[in-house]
């Protein structure tokens, strides 16, 4: 839980930063923006950089650390108790394509644990804000995750790029519905507010992709786990995670049972290389 003396301050800062980011996005038209490509062929736009600068200005205080996809990593963050972990534009590919599946993602951690988050989708005007111990608000109203207790009929959100690469073929004939969508942060936010029952990725993701969304799911009372069946911790020297699972609170065991054979198969394939 966020320290009691700071919870309201942290949430105020997150909301102010999301509001400021919204004014930046108002200057751009999704689907009609110049794009550059970083090493690894990941797209980046002027909007990514403009929002990154604004988030840092609104969020960071003396004594706090900073980790952002669009900022050169300063390893002094490893010595900080409180660290902001942000992605100024998660879902840049969707933004460039004009698909309304991108967001600003702001995560806050204390002592290695994600404890607060805020996510804003400028295309749909959705805001998700929450902290452990304080719950989650969706557009200012209290929200909670899915209370479903079985995967039969469940809605599971999948990565659009993972589906395109064929990584979800093993799950296509399940008793649940799989919906492809961009932005892992946005998918986690939707799970936190009960608009989907679960999401998972068996593909490595960086902390800035998932910390804010994981904090929201936890704040709402949902389930979040790494592929190693451990709680998500953050602000590590190497911010790359093997993958992540998230759902409403009563799908934990079934979700783990669904993906475990595929995790083991992937581990065996890697060890055989």
- 72-94 per-position pLDDT tens digit: 999 999 999 999 999 999 988 89
Where do the domains of the chain lie? 7-143, 155-272
Residue 3 has pLDDT above 80, yes or no: no
In the predicted model, what is the mean pLDDT of residues 163-186? 94
Q: Which CATH architecture has domain 155-272?
A: 3-Layer(aba) Sandwich (3.40)
Note the pLDDT of residue 108. Answer: 97
pLDDT of 36 above 80:
no
Q: DSSP letter for 61, please.
A: -
Matching CATH topology for 7-143 and 155-272?
A: no
Tell me the pLDDT tens digit for each residue of 159-169: 999 999 999 99
Q: Write the pLDDT tens digit of every residue in 46-69.
A: 787 889 999 999 999 999 999 998
- Position 204 confidence tier, pLDDT thresholds 50, 70, 90: very high
- At residue 5 the predicted structure's pLDDT band, cuts being 50, 70 and 90, is very low
Confidence of residue 226 (pLDDT cuts 50, 70, 90): very high
pLDDT exceeds 80 at position 37: no
CA end-to-end span of the chain: 41
* Rounded distance between C-alpha atoms, residue 113 and residue 109, angstroms: 5
Is 222 a residue whose pLDDT tops 90? yes
Residue 40: band (very low, low, confident or very high) from pLDDT cuts 50, 70, 90 = low
Region 243-248: mean pLDDT is 97
The alpha-helical segments, DSSP class H, found in 45-108 are: 46-59, 92-97
| pLDDT value, residue 117 | 98
Question: For the chain, what is the mean pLDDT?
Answer: 91
**Sequential DSSP letters for 210-243:** HHHHHHHHHHHT-EEEETTSS------SS-EES-
pTM: 0.93
d(CA 212, CA 192): 11
Rounded Cα distance between 246 and 183, Å, is 14
The domain 7-143 is placed in CATH, from the list 3.30.540.10, 3.30.2290.10, 3.30.70.20, 3.40.50.300, at 3.30.540.10
């Amino acid at each position: 839980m966020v320290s009691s003396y700071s919870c309201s301050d942290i949430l105020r800062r997150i909301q102010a930063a999301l509001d400021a980011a919204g004014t930046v996005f108002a200057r751009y038209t999704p689907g009609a923006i110049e794009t550059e490509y970083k090493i690894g062929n990941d797209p980046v736009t002027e909007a990514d950089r403009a929002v990154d600068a604004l988030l840092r200005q609104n969020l960071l205080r003396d004594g706090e650390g900073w980790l952002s996809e669009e900022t050169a990593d300063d390893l002094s963050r490893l010595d900080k108790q409180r660290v902001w972990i942000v992605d100024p534009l998660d879902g840049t590919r969707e933004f460039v394509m004009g698909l309304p599946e991108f967001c600003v993602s702001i995560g806050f951690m204390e002592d290695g644990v994600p404890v607060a988050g805020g996510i804003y989708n400028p295309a749909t005007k959705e805001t998700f804000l929450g902290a452990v111990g304080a719950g989650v608000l969706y557009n200012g109203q209290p929200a909670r995750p899915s209370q479903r207790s079985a995967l039969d009929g469940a809605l599971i959100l999948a990565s659009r790029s993972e589906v395109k690469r064929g990584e979800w073929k093993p799950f296509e004939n399940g008793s649940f519905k799989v919906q492809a969508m961009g932005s892992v942060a946005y998918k986690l936010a939707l799970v936190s507010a009960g608009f989907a029952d679960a999401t998972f990725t068996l593909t490595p993701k960086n902390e800035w992709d998932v910390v804010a969304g994981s904090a929201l799911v936890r704040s709402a009372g949902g389930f979040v786990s790494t592929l190693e069946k451990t709680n998500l911790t953050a602000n590590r020297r190497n911010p790359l995670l093997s993958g992540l699972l998230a759902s409403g609170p009563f799908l934990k065991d079934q979700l783990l049972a669904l993906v475990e054979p595929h995790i083991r198969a992937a581990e065996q394939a890697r060890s055989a290389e």
